[in-house]
Amino acid sequence: MADSENQVDQTTVDRLPSDDDYPATDGHAVRVLDKALLGGEPQRVGRFEYRYDSGAWTWSDTVARMHGYEPGEFEPTTELILSHKHPDDLARVKSLLQQSVAPFSSRHRIRTTTGEIRKVVVVGDPVNDADGRIVATRGFYIDITESSNADLQQSISDELQVIVSHREVIDQAKGMLMAIYQLGADAAFAVLKWRSQELNVKLSTVAEKLVAELPDLLNAHPAMRAPIDHYLLTLTPPKTSNDP
């Protein structure tokens, strides 16, 4: 989830009134991605926000109830939230708390205050401040524990597969830019994001085009690939004219 449609001012979106004709998440108007994931009752979905700068969490009433709390009963903290993760999923969920310029999604289990195990899908987007710095992640929980609606399960699975496939091609494109220009991962992602905004197309589309077409450009002169061929065969950089 890092496309240009996610670059809108989320504060503005969150303040839009809900329309009774459409599903909503805790009273907030639903974004494009929400509509793709929603298929059941609105109470199955709740919002959250995590601030990297202060470590503060915000839960909607629905997310509180998913964990077994009444709204306002407890102030969510990182320690409290992690204590509700299933032990087998804990390490993976902890890794999602690291600051990232890219959206994320996770399917894992939580343990409620009564010990009940519930299955959730969590999807988050990065939040920028006025200077363009990543200061938070904001998104929603979807409780899929008792879904008897096969269409809902399938729509969630299909959408997550799209998210994963987009993430894969974006990672491929990042890797190409990192190797060619000797960039770090964040810098390579920033290049893709810049081209996406300049061209006004989805970031995943830019990544797909780069992955599909860049290899042909690099193969235009086979002799240029010889040092790489040598390295793959020997795992030793080829000597240059300046080597002793």
| Contact present, 223 and 238 (Cβ < 8 Å) | no
Report whether pLDDT(97) > 70: yes
What is the model's pLDDT at position 21? 33
Distance CA 118, CA 114 (A): 11
From 226, 178, 33, 1, select the one nearest 100 (Cα to Cα): 1
pLDDT tens digits for range 145-174: 865 455 566 666 666 666 666 788 888 988
> How many beta carbons lie within 10 A of that of residue 91, not counting itself?
9
Highest mean pLDDT of the ranges 136-150, 187-201, 228-242? 187-201
What integer is the mean pLDDT of 18-31?
Answer: 39
The reported pLDDT for the residue numbered 114 is 92
pLDDT value of residue 154? 64
Assess contact for 139 and 47: CB atoms under 8 A.
yes
| pLDDT at 238 > cutoff 90 | no
% the chain with pLDDT above 70: 68
Distance (Å, whole) CA 179 – CA 171: 12
Structure tokens at 164: 């994963």
Helices 185-199 + 203-218 axis angle, to 10 = 110
